[in-house]
Amino acid sequence: MKLDFVKCRTALCLWFAVFSTVTVAQDLSNSTAVATGATQPISLGNRWGAISTVLDFGAKDANFAQNFDSTAAFASALASGKDYIFVPKGKYLISSSLTIPSGVVIQFSNQARLVANANNLTFFKVASSAYGSQVRDATLDGTGKTNVTGFDLSSFRSRARIDNVRMENMDYGIVLRSLCWDIVIDNPNSQGVKYPIWIMSGSNVVDIRHPALDTYIWGVNIEGGTYPTVGVTITGGFIQNGQIGIVDKATATRIHNTYFEGNSASDIALMAAINPEVSGTLHYANVGQSAIRAVQTKGAVIKNPLMTSGSRSIGLFDVDATNVKAFAWVSPVDGVVNKPLGISAGLGWFVTTPTSIP
């Protein structure tokens, strides 16, 4: 047998070319680099050590790893002590509660989605008295499961934020209970959630900005409990297509410039509320008895609501003799003065255009 030396030499050259490029992984954590726009170098270990993705802990996109449950991976990421955890694009199955520690930012890709993989599930809870944590851009999906809650937060406080969260097809969206305070909920979005936002029992100074709530029983419920709930503010946004848009049973709630549509009972129900203030709200519907209903409420101030279109069987207001020290100023803007107001006489209500608002 004769050897073809040309072919052998070619094969050997290829072998050396391939394997000579294989290198052993190096530890670069102590190497330094200067970020664009910065002036000082920092080690790569310090630069990337505080940031992780859930993929680093074993999470898998269930669109590709079919039926893979990522609960353990998410729990490990949250317990890792990292300051910033990123959730990349994908569908992640979750079957038990995830605990948010203090001082962490959980940033979701806008194409990332957590999907309930069990009944009786709460996606997120918090460590005792957790503070300063943020959840951004999450989508939580309870489709096909029962008794699912998005967030059930006790003693969550001090610069805590829930931003741009979308919740779909579950029983409760965001629940604040037991001495939560100084919380911002910015642009919460819900579709098919029975009770999207439920605030209770001493959850004070909560700022809800630009809610987008659709198809619910009660959109926002605010009440006391063991401790009074004080100083909840709702600003802007739209709340539509439920039974009641906002139920207020708390103290010093403020509702400003929010649009309501299609609520079958009332847009705003002040139920034994103390010193609530409603201003600049817009109301549209051809269903329900009244846009704003007050029962056993003290010191309500209602300023310049607008029934933009539609009609109610009682009118813009439904205020009876159970209320005390309530005042309303209604400017003669188009669409209001021609609607019945539904205010019982002798309650100290003023329906007029004020020269100044105290």
Got the DSSP string for 262-287? --SSEEEEEES-BS-EEES-EEEESS
Q: How far apart are CA 358 and CA 355, in angstroms?
A: 10
pTM of the model: 0.82
State residue 209's pLDDT score.
97
Q: Is the dihedral of CA 333, 339, 342, 346 positive or negative?
A: positive
Q: Which residue has the tokens 């105290």?
A: 358
Amino acid at 155: S
Contact 55, 79 (CB under 8 A): no
Q: How far apart are CA 312 and CA 91, in angstroms?
A: 44
268 beta partners: 246, 292
Q: How far apart are the first and last CA of the chain?
A: 108
State residue 273's pLDDT score.
92
State residue 301's pLDDT score.
80
Residue pLDDT, tens place only, 187-226: 999 999 999 999 998 889 899 999 999 999 999 999 988 8
Domains and CATH numbers, the chain: 57-197 (2.160.20.10), 236-358 (no CATH)
Helices (H), 63-220: 71-78
**Closest to 30 (Cα-Cα) out of 40, 43, 17, 42:** 43
Helices (H), the chain: 5-19, 44-49, 71-78
Run of H or E residues at 10: helix 5-19
Cα–Cα–Cα angle for 340, 344, 346, rounded to 5 degrees:
130
**Closest to 220 (Cα-Cα) out of 250, 236, 192, 244:** 244
| Residues of the chain where predicted confidence (pLDDT) is lower than 70 | 1-25, 28-29, 34-40, 42-50, 286-289, 308-321, 323-358
Return the SS3 of 34.
Answer: coil
Amino acid at 176: L
State residue 127's pLDDT score.
87
Q: Which residue has the tokens 């694009």?
A: 89
